[in-house]
Amino acid sequence: MSFESRNPATGELLGTYPEHDAAETDKRLQLVWDGWQRWSRTPLPERIAFLLRLADLLEARAETYGRLITSEMGKPLPEAIGEVKKAASGARHFAEAGEGYLAPQAIPGTPAHIIHESVGPIFGVMPWNLPFWQVLRFFIPAALVGNTVIVKHAETVQGSAEALETLVRDAGGPEGLYVNLAIERDKSAAVIADPRIRAVTVTGSVAAGRAVAAEAGRHGKKVVLELGGSDPFIVLEDADLAQAVKLGVVSRYSNNAQSCIAAKRFLVAESLVEAFTKAFVEQAAALPMGDPAKDGIKLGPLARGDLRDNVHRQVRDAVKAGARVLTGGEIPAGPGNFYPPTVLVGLPPDAAIAQEEFFGPVAMIFPFKTEEDAIRLANATEFGLGAAVWSRDLARAHRVAGRIEAGAIFINDFTRSDPRAPFGGAKGSGFGRELGALGALELTNAKLVWQGGA
């Protein structure tokens, strides 16, 4: 079997990539295991130097890799280049902060301290929507602490998958530090079960994450899950309306609206909902949609045709449940997996379709009467990845934020990841953390060292 990479804007076949069979999979598992034996004993200054070389290469190749990302998954080229540069900044951050993150931690009142050691090879199951950043945000801290990784990237971005393996090698990473594994999803269970794998991390759908977690649990292996989201964007009556609309549109439609942490449910105070909706629709409808490699484009195609079909199915289901489409909502003619910016209002918040994650350019706007209503609506979902709260009264904003069930809350801003800050979800959106100090230590062995008297 082979995997295909196709340009989602044109349907053009970009490349075919053979799947790794059982023998090749075993060979690659041995590579990552042997690599860990060496890399875990590599002094920290050398691991840090590697991360700095990695950052240099990412910056030097940002446009080349950006064009690869755009061709394989369809995001506008400036955003794709920005994705690569963000990964470079992540590598620099962990290089600069790594020694502090890994410093021994004294236990007050005892003759003991804690050191953080690598756990071994990590199996990463990665998605297509951020084909460089999603992978590197877990690889960089893993490499810092002495782990090695073997990555099953999404079938449709195998050009990026191979480029990442080459990138690590070109930055001076030793054999086995980063190993690409081209297999279908149903082959992952055997990899998880392999004794050479010590932990698993997955970014993807709730169903995929739970399947991986169940398999890892059967074998007593730690797993980090970053799954879907249906992030609430709460606009209280004293919010800066113009800024909330502007950044709300950015949050919803960036990355072709294919982001777990995008704002998806806009909860707006009744006194503002008419003005918010009018401005939001105007700005969303004005987003230039087209070939993501061309200048000025803000919305490219969805990554696959079946993904577009599912988004359109969700929109139709929402209309059947009572929603009205204020803009968009129809599949355009012509080639490519394009879907226009779409805004829905009037959908009953307890409708089944309102509980689904819209992984495409669809925004849902819901009015609320009171602060309590806003909190209830925000939490009325299985997801808990991120959220935003908008208010000029910061004490109030913090009070509301403290009651939202999510892994991250942004006040007067939109949710996003940052290399310096921990990132992860709550409830059905997963557990464990990436990035920041917590992310650096997530996949380590916290070893107690107790020194007795002479």
The encoded tokens of residue 96 equal 């600069």
Most distant CA pair in the chain: distance in Å?
Answer: 81
Q: Where are the alpha helices (DSSP H) in 146-290?
A: 158-170, 188-193, 206-218, 241-253, 270-285
In order, the DSSP letters of 2-70 are EEEEE-TTT--EEEEEEPP-HHHHHHHHHHHHHHHHHHTTS-HHHHHHHHHHHHHHHHHTHHHHHHHHH
Residue of 381, 340, 386 whose CA lies nearest to 357: 381
From residue 15, alpha-carbon distances to 164, 183, 274, 350, 379 in Å are 16, 16, 48, 44, 43
- 226 included as an active-site residue: yes
Q: Half-sphere exposure of 225 toward its Cβ, with a 13 Å CA cutoff?
A: 28
What token pair was written down for 176? 């086995």
Which listed residue (72, 79, 155, 260) is catalytic? 260
- 8-state DSSP, 412: S
Side chain identity, residue 327 = T
Q: Residues in the chain, how many?
A: 454
Read off the tokens for 141: 């801290």
Q: Note whether 62 and 80 are within 8 A (CB).
A: no
Q: Which of 72, 79, 155, 226 is catalytic?
A: 226
Q: 325: part of which helix (H) or strand (E)?
A: strand 324-327
Structure tokens at 55: 């950052």
Closest CA to 130 of 153, 151, 147: 153
- 381's CB contacts (< 8 A; 6+ apart) are 230, 265, 355
Q: Helix (H, G, I), strand (E, B), or coil: what is residue 319?
A: helix
Strand segments, DSSP code E, in 58-155 are 105-106, 112-118, 122-125, 149-152
* Rounded (5°) CA angle 287-293-296: 35
| Distance, CA of 258 to CA of 252 (rounded, Å) | 9
> What residue type is assigned to position 112 of the chain?
A
Quote the CA–CA distance of 113 and 236 in Å, as a whole number: 46
Structure-token match 């190993």, residue found? 179
Known active-site residue 162: no
Give me the active site residues, please: 226, 260
